[in-house]
Amino acid sequence: MSSVHDFSATTIEGEPQSLSTYRGKVLLIVNVASKCGFTPQYTGLEALYREYADKGLVVLGFPCDQFGHQEPGDEAEIRDFCSLNYDVTFPLFAKIDVNGTNAHPLYQYLKKHAKGLLGSEAVKWNFTKFLVDREGRVVRRYAPTDRPESIAGDIVALL
């Protein structure tokens, strides 16, 4: 695989989705969870999406339950939670693993191309963010503690 666009994932509605759909867009790919201390970042992610979508930004949310069982719900519960509590309109996908032997192939690729602290590939917690350019190349990884609004400058530079 040579870019993020070579992967597919299942939408939160259960439909297969090729990420080639987002060719030509800047992507912010985030593993999300509903019961995490970082869950309020949905507000900032949605604000980025609304502010820059018309310039080519797409935020992609991938629910994950690998960290402290903080995403226990099924896809319908996750979708409803995000809609009712944070008015999320950016694309959400079905729950995945981001680490381990069952890690989604997209996340295997992201981690290989943007290592974390001290060269680690493992995603450390929910709301780790990966910034991807219009050609599908991974540009940077951000820690869960990096608030969405703090990375807006990096996003704008790619738009």
* Residue 118 pLDDT greater than 90, yes or no: no
By annotation, the residues acting in catalysis are 36
What is the model's pLDDT at position 114? 81
Residue 99 CB contacts under 8 Å (≥ 6 apart), including other chains: 66, 107, 122, 123
**Domain limits, the chain:** 4-158
Single-letter amino acid, residue 52 = Y
**Predicted pLDDT of residue 120:** 75
User: Where do the H-state alpha helices sit in the chain?
Assistant: 41-52, 75-86, 105-113, 152-158
pLDDT for res 98: 96
The fourth-level CATH superfamily of domain 4-158 is Glutaredoxin (3.40.30.10)
* CB-based contacts of 110, cutoff 8 Å, min separation 6: 4, 29, 130, 138, 141
Residue 116, pLDDT score: 73
Mean pLDDT of all residues in the chain?
94
- Residue 145: its pLDDT value, please? 95
User: What's this model's pTM, rounded to 2 decimal places?
Assistant: 0.95
Beta strands in 6-158 (DSSP E): 8-10, 16-18, 26-32, 57-63, 129-132, 138-142
Other beta carbons within 10 Å of 41: 22
